[in-house]
C-alpha cells in the first residue's frame, strides 16, 4: 500500500509541474494548490482507472497495437477538466492543448516511474489477483468471453512492460537510483537486482503463467541454437515453477474424483514431488499398497490459458495484416499449432489415452516401459499413474555406478524413439532428459509426461526416413528432395536456389564442421533454409524433428563417440524387417479383404431393394429400364470412334502377319509335293486382304461422318 501511495503522490507532483510549465492550460484560482489537486486526481486516474478502461476495451488495444493508450489518457484528462469545478483557462483550439497536456502528463508520469523504479516487478506478483481468475474461471462460456481476454491483455501488457523496462535500464546508472528508492520504500533491494537478462526473462515467463512457460520450454528444447546462459536458464523452466498450496490440491481432487485424497488413497504426501507449468505431482499409495504419482492441474489455469492463446492469435493476425515479415513467417499457423497442443495438454484424459497407446506400441521392446494409468482415480484435471523410481536418462554417474552399459542404454533410447516416429507414427512430442527415466536396478527406460504427442501419416514417415537415408548416404541432393516433400511450398519457389542452399547447409554443418558433427545443428540449418524460402513444416513434423534432435542429444550424452545417424538408420532397418514378416503381410491382406467385404455388405441392402423391384416388374410382365443417355452421348461417340480405330489396327496387323506366313510358306514348300498349298494360301490371303480393305474403307468413312 505504501508503494502505491508514494507512486500517486510523486506522479501528482510531476503532473503539477507540467501544468505549471504549460501556459496554454491554466487553473486560475490558486494556481499551485489547484494544480496539485488536479495532478493528484489525474495520477489516480492513470493508476487505477486506466487499467479498468483497458479491461473494457482490450480488443481495441490489440487492433491499434497499443496506440489507443494515448487516446485513453487524453479522454481521461478531458473528463477531469469537465468534472472538476476549477476555472480552467485553455487557449484555442482547446482540443489541441488538451491533447498536448494529456500527452505531456502521461510522458512525465512514465519517465518519473522509470527513473525512480516505482513500477518495478514485485516478487510473487503472479499470486496477486487470483480471486479474479477464480471468479472468471466459473463464468459460463469462458473460452469465448472477451472480458477474460481483456483482463489478460491488461495483465500481460503491464508485466511485460515492467520487466522489459528493468532489463533495458539495468546497464545504465539509472538502475542505482531505482534500487535506492526500492530500499527506501520496502527496506530491501529489488529481487531482480544483480540478476542476468536470461534469468529475468525466465522469471517474466513464470510470472506470465502456464502458457508462456510452455512457450519458454519449447524454445529451451532448441538449446543448440541458444547461447549457453540462455539455454541453462530456459531449461530451468522444466523444474523451477513454484508449487501451489495443498489446500487447493485437496479441493481439486475432491471436486474431480468426488472425495478428498485421504478417502481415496491410503497415503497422500502433501508436499509435491515436482511442480510444472500446468500441474504438480504428489506421491501417494493405493489401498492395495501400490505406489502411485498423482498429477493435479493448477487451479484457475483454464480461463487464463485460453485467454492467452486467443490474445496471441489476435495479435498475430494484426501483425500479419501490417508487417510483411510476420506474413512470411506464417505466425498464425505457428500459434494455431501451439494452441492445439496446449489445449490438448489441459485435458489429462488425452494424456491417459496417449500412455495406453504408447504402451501398446512399445510392448515389443522389453527394456522400454510406459507408466500404467489408474482410470478410476483419474479425470480431466487429475491423473493417477504408476510411480516410477529412477534417475534421469542423462545421469551418467548413476548409470555407471549401477553397472549399466551406457552404449546399450543409448541404443535403446534411439530404437524406442525411431520406432515411435518412423514406424508407428505415434511419438512422444517432448522427450527431453527430464521426461525419460532409467531404473538403475533393471535398466528399464520409462517415458514420462505424455501430454504432448505427435502423429505422422505413413507418407510423411517415409519422407522422413528418406531424409535420414540421404544423410546417412551422404547425398545432399536427395536430402533437398526429401526436405521439399516434407513442406508446403508456394508456386513461386526458386527450386534451384533452394537446393543450393540445402547443399551448402549440409556441407557446412555435416561435412566440414569445425567441432562435433551434430544432426540437430544441421537440421536447424535446413529449417532456416526452409524459412528463408517461404517453406514451412506442419506441427507434427516439427515435433518429429524436435524429438529426433532430442534423441541425438541423449544418445551423445550417454556415448559421445556414437555415430548417431548410422545407429538410427540401422535400427530403422531392423525394425522394418521385423514389421514386414510373412505373418504380418498376410494379416494385413486379411484385414484389407475383410474391410472390402464389409464395404460390399453395406451396399447389399440397396442392391436387394433394386433386385426386388426388378423381379416384381418381371412378374407383372413389364420390365422397364429407364436410361438417360444425354450425358453419355459424347462419351459413347468417342468410345465408338476408338473401337473403330482399334478394329482397323487389328485388321492391318492381321494382314501383315498373314503376308509374312504366306511368304514363308512359298519359300519353304516350293520344291516339294505340297507346293500347291502356298499358292492356295496366297490366293486366300489376297481375297481376305481385298475384303479387309473394303471393311477398312467403310470404317474410315463412318469415322469421317461422326466428326462434327
Mean pLDDT computed over 203-221: 77
pLDDT above 70: residue 665: no
pLDDT band at 362 (very low <50, low <70, confident <90, very high): very high
Mean pLDDT computed over 345-358: 92
Q: What is the pLDDT of residue 251?
A: 94
Give the integer Cα–Cα distance in Å for 360 and 426.
11
Q: Which residues contact 568 (CB under 8 A, 6 or more apart)?
A: 414, 418, 468, 548, 551
Do 430 and 546 meet the contact criterion of CB atoms below 8 Å apart?
Answer: yes
Percent of the chain scoring above 90 in pLDDT? 14
User: Between the ranges 283-287, 329-333, 345-349, 676-680, where is the mean pLDDT highest?
Assistant: 283-287
pLDDT band at 627 (very low <50, low <70, confident <90, very high): very low
**Better pLDDT: 123 or 381:** 381
Q: What is the pLDDT of residue 159?
A: 83
Rounded (5°) CA angle 107-113-117: 155
pLDDT above 80: residue 576: no
User: What would you measure as the largest C-alpha separation in the chain, in angstroms?
Assistant: 148
Cα-to-chain-centroid distance, residue 224 = 20
**Better pLDDT: 302 or 372:** 372
For 92-119, what is each residue's pLDDT tens digit?
A: 887 788 778 777 877 777 787 788 877 7
Rounded (5°) CA angle 215-149-137: 90
For 506-546, what is each residue's pLDDT tens digit?
A: 888 888 876 677 788 888 888 888 878 878 777 788 888 88
Mean pLDDT computed over 677-704: 60
Do 215 and 338 meet the contact criterion of CB atoms below 8 Å apart?
Answer: yes
Q: What is the pLDDT of residue 255?
A: 93
pLDDT above 90: residue 370: yes
**Better pLDDT: 705 or 561:** 561
Mean pLDDT computed over 433-462: 88
Q: What is the pLDDT of residue 532?
A: 82
**Better pLDDT: 448 or 49:** 448
pLDDT above 60: residue 356: yes
Give the integer Cα–Cα distance in Å for 658 and 530.
63
Distances (CA, A) of 199 to 191, 216, 235, 236, 515: 11, 12, 11, 10, 28
Mean pLDDT computed over 402-417: 89
pLDDT above 50: residue 305: yes
Q: How are strands ordered across the β-sheet holding 445-447? A: 368-369, 445-447, 436-438, 391-392
Q: What is the pLDDT of residue 635?
A: 47
pLDDT above 60: residue 10: yes
pLDDT above 60: residue 127: no
CA atoms within 13 A on the CB side of 374: 23
Which range (40-44, 382-386, 641-645) has the least confidence? 641-645
pLDDT above 90: residue 230: no
> Is 365 exposed, middle or buried (CB count within 10 Å of its CB: 0-12, 13-18, 19+)?
middle
pLDDT above 50: residue 660: no
Q: What is the pLDDT of residue 269?
A: 94
Domain boundaries, the chain: 2-238, 388-580, 590-624, 633-706
Give the integer Cα–Cα distance in Å for 483 and 499.
10
Task: Match 490474445 to its residue by C-alpha cell.
Answer: 311
How much is the pTM? Answer: 0.66
Which range (12-21, 240-249, 639-648) has the least confidence? 639-648
pLDDT above 70: residue 133: no
Which range (2-16, 178-192, 261-275, 331-345) has the least confidence? 2-16
Q: What is the pLDDT of residue 64?
A: 61
Give the integer Cα–Cα distance in Å for 648 and 636.
18
Mean pLDDT computed over 128-140: 55
Which range (80-89, 157-166, 347-356) has the least confidence? 80-89
Q: Which residues contact 354 (CB under 8 A, 6 or more apart)?
A: 450, 451, 453
Mean pLDDT computed over 552-571: 82
Which range (338-342, 632-636, 672-676) has the least confidence? 632-636
Q: What is the pLDDT of residue 94?
A: 78
Q: What is the pLDDT of residue 144?
A: 47
pLDDT above 70: residue 552: yes
Task: Match 503472479 to its residue by C-alpha cell.
Answer: 126
Do 223 and 197 meet the contact criterion of CB atoms below 8 Å apart?
Answer: no
**Better pLDDT: 318 or 515:** 318
Amino acid at each position: 500500500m505504501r508503494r502505491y501511495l508514494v507512486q500517486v503522490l510523486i506522479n501528482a507532483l510531476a503532473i503539477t509541474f507540467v501544468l505549471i510549465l504549460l501556459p496554454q492550460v491554466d487553473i486560475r484560482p490558486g494556481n499551485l494548490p489547484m494544480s496539485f489537486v488536479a495532478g493528484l486526481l489525474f495520477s489516480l486516474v492513470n493508476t487505477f482507472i486506466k487499467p479498468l478502461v483497458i479491461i473494457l476495451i482490450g480488443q481495441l488495444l490489440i487492433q491499434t497495437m497499443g496506440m489507443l493508450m494515448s487516446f485513453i489518457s487524453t479522454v481521461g484528462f478531458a473528463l477531469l477538466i469537465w468534472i472538476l469545478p476549477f476555472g480552467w483557462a485553455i487557449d484555442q483550439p482547446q482540443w489541441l492543448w488538451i491533447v498536448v497536456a494529456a500527452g505531456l502528463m502521461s510522458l512525465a508520469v512514465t519517465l518519473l516511474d522509470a527513473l525512480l523504479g516505482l513500477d518495478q516487478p514485485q516478487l510473487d506478483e503472479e499470486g496477486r489477483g487470483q480471486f479474479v481468475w477464480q471468479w472468471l474461471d466459473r463464468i459460463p462460456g469462458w473460452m469465448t468471453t472477451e472480458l477474460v481476454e481483456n483482463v489478460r491483455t491488461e495483465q500481460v501488457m503491464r508485466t511485460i512492460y515492467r520487466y522489459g523496462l528493468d532489463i533495458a535500464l539495468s546497464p545504465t546508472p539509472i538502475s542505482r537510483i531505482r534500487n535506492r528508492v526500492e530500499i527506501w520504500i520496502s527496506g530491501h533491494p529489488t529481487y531482480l537486482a544483480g540478476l542476468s537478462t536470461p534469468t529475468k526473462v525466465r522469471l517474466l515467463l513464470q510470472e506470465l503463467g502456464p502458457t508462456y512457460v510452455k512457450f519458454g520450454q519449447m524454445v529451451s528444447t532448441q538449446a543448440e541454437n541458444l547461447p549457453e546462459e540462455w539455454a541453462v536458464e530456459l531449461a530451468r523452466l522444466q523444474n523451477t515453477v513454484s508449487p501451489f498450496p495443498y489446500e487447493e490440491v485437496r479441493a481439486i481432487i475432491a471436486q474431480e474424483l468426488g472425495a478428498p485424497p485421504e478417502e481415496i488413497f491410503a497415503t497422500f504426501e502433501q508436499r509435491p514431488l515436482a511442480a510444472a507449468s500446468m500441474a504438480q505431482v504428489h506421491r501417494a499409495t493405493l489401498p492395495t499398497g501400490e505406489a502411485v504419482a498423482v498429477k493435479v492441474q493448477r487451479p484457475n489455469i483454464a480461463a487464463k490459458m485460453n485467454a492467452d492463446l486467443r490474445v496471441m492469435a489476435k495479435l498475430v493476425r494484426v501483425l500479419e495484416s501490417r508487417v510483411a515479415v510476420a506474413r512470411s513467417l506464417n505466425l498464425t499457423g505457428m500459434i494455431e499449432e501451439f494452441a492445439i497442443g496446449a489445449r490438448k495438454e489441459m485435458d489429462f484424459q488425452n494424456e491417459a489415452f496417449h500412455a495406453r497407446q504408447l504402451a501398446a506400441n512399445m510392448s515389443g521392446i522389453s527394456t522400454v516401459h510406459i507408466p500404467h494409468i489408474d482410470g478410476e482415480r483419474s479425470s480431466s484435471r487429475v491423473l493417477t499413474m504408476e510411480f516410477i523410481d529412477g534417475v534421469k536418462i542423462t545421469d551418467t554417474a548413476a548409470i555407471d555406478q549401477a553397472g549399466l552399459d551406457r552404449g546399450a542404454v543409448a541404443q535403446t533410447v534411439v530404437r524406442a524413439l525411431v520406432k515411435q516416429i518412423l514406424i508407428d507414427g505415434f511419438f512422444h512430442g517432448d522427450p527431453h532428459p527430464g521426461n525419460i527415466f532409467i531404473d538403475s536396478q533393471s535398466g528399464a527406460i520409462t517415458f514420462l509426461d505424455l501430454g504432448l504427442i505427435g502423429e505422422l501419416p505413413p507418407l510423411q514417415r517415409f519422407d522422413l526416413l528418406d531424409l535420414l537415408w540421404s544423410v546417412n548416404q551422404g547425398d545432399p541432393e536427395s536430402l533437398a528432395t526429401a526436405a521439399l516433400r516434407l513442406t508446403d511450398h508456394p508456386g513461386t519457389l526458386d527450386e534451384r536456389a533452394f537446393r543450393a542452399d540445402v547443399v551448402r547447409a549440409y556441407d557446412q554443418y555435416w561435412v566440414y564442421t569445425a567441432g562435433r558433427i551434430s544432426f540437430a545443428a544441421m537440421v536447424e540449418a535446413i529449417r532456416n533454409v526452409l524459412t528463408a524460402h517461404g517453406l514451412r513444416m506442419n506441427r507434427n513434423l516439427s515435433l518429429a524433428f524436435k524429438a529426433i534432435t532430442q534423441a541425438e542429444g541423449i544418445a551423445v550424452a550417454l556415448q559421445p563417440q556414437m555415430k548417431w545417424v548410422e545407429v538410427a538408420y540401422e535400427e530403422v532397418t531392423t525394425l522394418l524387417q521385423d514389421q514386414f514378416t510373412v505373418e504380418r503381410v498376410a494379416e494385413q491382406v486379411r484385414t484389407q479383404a475383410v474391410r472390402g467385404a464389409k464395404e460390399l455388405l453395406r451396399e447389399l441392402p440397396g442392391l436387394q431393394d433394386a433386385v426386388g423391384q426388378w423381379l416384381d416388374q418381371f412378374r407383372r410382365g413389364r420390365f422397364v429400364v429407364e436410361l438417360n443417355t444425354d450425358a453419355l452421348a459424347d462419351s459413347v461417340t468417342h468410345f465408338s470412334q476408338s473401337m473403330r480405330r482399334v478394329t482397323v489396327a487389328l485388321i492391318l496387323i492381321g494382314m501383315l502377319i498373314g503376308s509374312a506366313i504366306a511368304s514363308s510358306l512359298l519359300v519353304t514348300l516350293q520344291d516339294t509335293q505340297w507346293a500347291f498349298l502356298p499358292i492356295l494360301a496366297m490366293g486366300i490371303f489376297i481375297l481376305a486382304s481385298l475384303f479387309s480393305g473394303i471393311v477398312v474403307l467403310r470404317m474410315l468413312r463412318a469415322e469421317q461422318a461422326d466428326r462434327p
